């Protein structure tokens, strides 16, 4: 093998690691349950309930099998391993779409989207460098632009000369950077967030309120990961209850209340997403992107690659059309009736419908 080889891959977590996860959760040293007023983070009772289910009825093997139902590959790019799910369409001449997750997402985020979308397109779902089954990056410097270059090289190695990139959260930024670094091969991008195009003041009252709430109430995680990611890493890597609480809080705060992400329809998928971070030991490496963003605040958008924006009403931040339209080649603007930051989990049917519509329009 050489570094450019693309090799088959299967998710196969040793049973000893699955047992270790359950045992660690069962013997968690919980904080004292104080009677406190006001919003102070994810409630202890909720974290305990999620941990109890994860250590009991929840079955990792079910989600492992769902991932292994798709072809998967790994390859080495720029000195680090890159993993991807690769679902080919039955039609050889179908378009190709690459789905890009962010933090605290993973390839699990698109588990319910891949099969229906592959009916009309070839689907590639990478684990971003430093995330999930790509494993921790061996070095720093992994900005979203560097990640975009790695994804572009992955798509070339998979044989795609033309593709569409969809992304949410950091995936939106990687998709944006793909349009800049690989314009000859990126047919279009489709994003749910428009990082760098958030106006300081906006006439859009809904977007302004979301921005205010994020700055005042929801951005603590970002400030920690952007300034002291190494201080946080040992706790999240050693304690599955800590990792669970850190990620579950984002699902609680960033989703549509109607999605009920901790309800019976989606809870197990949320826990599988948490488990990917746990089993791969990527709590520390995934958070480094926040530090890199602070040190390398580049906000370049392509003005020539067709761009589609999909607005989720309960997302963390809401795109503002008046700020986006002058900055990109805006060919599509969709406002979905429901959903939040994780549409692949919350509203997979709406996301598939939107991506199919976008691909057909192109």
| Active-site residue list | 169, 290, 341
As separate numbers, helices (DSSP H) first and strands (DSSP E) second, the chain gives: 15, 9
Half-sphere exposure of 322 (CA within 13 A, CB side): 9
Beta bridge partners of 96: 122
Tokens encoding 178: 């793909």
- Please provide the DSSP assignment of 94-121 as one string: --EEEEE--TT--GGGGTTTHHHHTTTS
Collapsing DSSP to helix, strand or coil, 262 comes out as coil
Helix 229-238, helix 220-227: angle, nearest 10: 110
CB–CB of 189/330 below 8 Å? Answer: no
CB–CB of 240/25 below 8 Å? Answer: yes
Tokens encoding 242: 């800590």
Torsion of CA 152, 156, 162, 166, to 10 degrees: -40
Q: Are strands 163-167 and 306-311 parallel, antiparallel or unpaired?
A: unpaired
CB–CB of 175/107 below 8 Å? Answer: no
**Rounded CA gap, 246 and 322, in Å?**
34
**Rounded CA gap, 254 and 192, in Å?**
13
Q: E-assigned strands of the chain?
A: 7-8, 71-77, 80-87, 96-100, 122-127, 163-167, 186-191, 306-311, 329-335
Half-sphere exposure of 57 (CA within 13 A, CB side): 6
CB–CB of 289/130 below 8 Å? Answer: yes
């Amino acid at each position: 093998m050489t570094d450019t080889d693309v090799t088959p891959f299967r998710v196969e977590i040793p049973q000893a690691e699955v047992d270790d996860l359950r045992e660690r959760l069962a013997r968690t040293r919980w904080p004292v349950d104080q009677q406190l007023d006001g919003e102070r983070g994810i409630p202890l009772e909720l974290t305990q309930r999620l941990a109890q289910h994860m250590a009991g009825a929840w079955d990792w093997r079910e989600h492992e099998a769902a991932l292994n139902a798709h072809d998967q590959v790994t390859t080495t790019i720029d000195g680090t391993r890159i993993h991807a799910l690769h679902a080919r369409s039955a039609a050889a001449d179908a378009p190709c779409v690459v789905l890009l997750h962010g933090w605290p997402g993973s390839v699990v985020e698109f588990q319910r989207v891949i099969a229906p979308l592959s009916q009309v397109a070839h689907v590639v779902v990478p684990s971003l460098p430093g995330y999930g089954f790509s494993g921790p990056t061996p070095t720093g410097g992994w900005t979203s632009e560097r990640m975009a270059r790695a994804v572009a090289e992955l798509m070339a190695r998979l044989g795609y000369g033309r593709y569409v990139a969809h992304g949410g959260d950091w995936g939106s930024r990687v998709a944006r950077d793909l349009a800049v670094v690989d314009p000859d091969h990126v047919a279009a991008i489709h994003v749910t967030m428009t990082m760098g195009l958030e106006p300081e003041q906006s006439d859009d009252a809904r977007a302004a309120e979301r921005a205010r709430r994020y700055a005042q109430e929801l951005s603590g995680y970002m400030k920690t990961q952007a300034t002291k990611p190494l201080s946080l890493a040992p706790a999240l890597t050693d304690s599955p209850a800590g990792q669970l609480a850190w990620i579950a809080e984002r699902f609680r705060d960033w989703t549509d209340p109607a999605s009920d992400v901790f309800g019976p329809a989606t809870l197990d998928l949320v826990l599988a997403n948490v488990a990917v971070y746990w089993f791969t030991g990527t709590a520390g490496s995934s958070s480094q992107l926040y530090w890199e963003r602070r040190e390398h605040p580049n906000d370049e958008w392509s003005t020539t690659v067709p761009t589609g924006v999909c607005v989720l009403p309960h997302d963390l931040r809401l795109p503002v059309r008046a700020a986006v339209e002058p900055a990109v080649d805006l060919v599509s603007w969709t406002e979905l009736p429901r959903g939040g930051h994780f549409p692949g989990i919350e509203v997979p049917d709406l996301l598939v419908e939107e991506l199919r519509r976008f691909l057909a329009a192109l």
